[in-house]
Chain A
């Protein structure tokens, strides 16, 4: 077992971020969100609420959509994390970017990284999502600008674009 660190001792944690191996020295209860933003300079994940309600800090952890504000770094040890910065390699990125642009799915942009990750997570699992699937897939991501319909339409459009040859 890991030696139980005294309060205030930093430990080394290793994980991959966007395909690159990373080692960080951090307190085990440091949140993944802060490690990504402050230690690794990846500011795509944002802090909205800090309590799991808004999804602006969404990342993929071992291919699962999670809120990085609720993950202590110790629980990310040994995992593979993908942030919005790492999504440029994803086949869905271009269609999603284009449909968000065309449908007006992004305004101030604060929610957009989380929306794109939640959408990609959904489209990876469901080839032909219904509007109900899209609403459910994005239910944990809040947007104060668009009113959501543009975002749902953008995701539907990206899905349709992919289904068509």
Chain B
């Protein structure tokens, strides 16, 4: 059933301090709303349990994108449009720009935010494999202060995060040391723009003297959390890309992923696709990666 707006509160403190104070004063009472592209869908369907919402869309500190010599810091409420159109993101972090360009249609990209994608904690969230690959660091903020945590430690289980009840994600910081890698992303779903992924791959690699010097692989929708394939990466490093290596990589991928059956797909299909996506990436890396 459709929600009744009379049953919900939405306050708009308009400043970061104002938001943090309220989150601290009444812990776990207030649900932040940024672009609303997850929250409002639940609300419209009458499925939003939390009745008190706090607006973080209009907080300037959360919308800044700052470039430093060694990193880029992306405010958590930066929209997909702002992220993909930023020239440093487009040039040095193509996996993130590409994920942003596939996250729903243009209207969704004009509202949906990177911080919302992280906090919403869906294993199918499309920007998260790129954040794993690029060693993203999150700054979390509350009245108690700020803490910096590697993104890879943020999601602890299905829809579980380390975010405290009084905390916001302030920004996402990416070290600027990946521009010389060959990069590749594939979203497998009903279609790229307006459909939830069945399997998502983000990958980076470098080949030198015929051998893989470095490789980074992350998959979405194949485990309770977005998954970095550490074991497979280790197995591949230093080796020459050949059919026998690709076979070994496929076996290793199957050992690392934990796909499930759900309304969008089956575990068996996801396993096959995950292996095929890694195979496709390795073939491209062999063909094109050496020059990158």
Contact = CB atoms under 8 A, between A and B. Distances in A.
Interface of A: 1-2, 4-8, 26-31, 50-53, 55, 58, 64-67, 69-72, 74-75, 77, 118, 121-122, 136-141
Which of B9, B37, B55 neighbours the largest number of chain A CB atoms within 10 Å of its CB?
Answer: B9
Contacts of B15: 1
B105 A140 contact: yes
A27 B4 CA distance: 9
A140 B104 contact: yes
Contacts of A30: 5
Contacts of A2: 11-14
Contacts of B9: 4-7, 28-29
Given A53-B194, A140-B193, A7 B7 contact: yes
Contacts of A121: 106
Contacts of B101: 136
Interface string B9-45: 1111111001000100000000001001100110111
Interface stretch (B107-115, B124-132, B203-211, B231-239): B107-115
B8 interface: yes
Nearest to B9: A7
A15 B108 CA distance: 22
A50 B5 CA distance: 14
Decide if the interface of chain A is mainly helix, strand, loop or mixed. loop
Interface in B61-110: 81, 101, 104-108, 110
14 contacts: A1-B14, A2-B12, A7-B6, A27-B5, A27-B8, A31-B40, A52-B107, A70-B36, A71-B36, A74-B12, A75-B33, A121-B106, A140-B105, A141-B105
B57 interface: yes
Contacts of B110: 64-66
B159 interface: no
Which of A29, A74, A136 neighbours the largest number of chain B CB atoms within 10 Å of its CB?
Answer: A29
Nearest to B43: A29
A70 B104 contact: no
Nearest to B10: A28
B53 interface: yes
Contacts of A53: 194
- For the complex of A and B, list the 4 residue pairs with the smallest distance between their C-beta atoms, beginning with the closest: A140-B105, A27-B5, A139-B193, A28-B10
A140 B40 contact: no
Contact of B40 (A8, A55, A69): A69
B51 interface: yes
Given A4-B11, A7-B8, A118 B36 contact: no
A8 B6 contact: yes
A50 B42 CA distance: 10
Nearest to A33: B44
Contact of A139 (B7, B22, B194): B194
B11 A137 contact: no
A133 to B, nearest CB: 11
Nearest to A74: B10
B41 A1 contact: no
A75 B22 CA distance: 18
Contacts of B8: 7, 27-29
A58 B107 contact: yes
Contacts of B43: 29
A53 to B, nearest CB: 7
B98 to A, nearest CB: 12
B102 to A, nearest CB: 10
Contacts of A29: 3, 5, 8-10, 43, 53
A74 B105 contact: no
B37 A52 contact: yes
A1 B59 CA distance: 13
A51 B104 CA distance: 12
Contacts of A27: 5-6, 8
B11 A55 contact: no
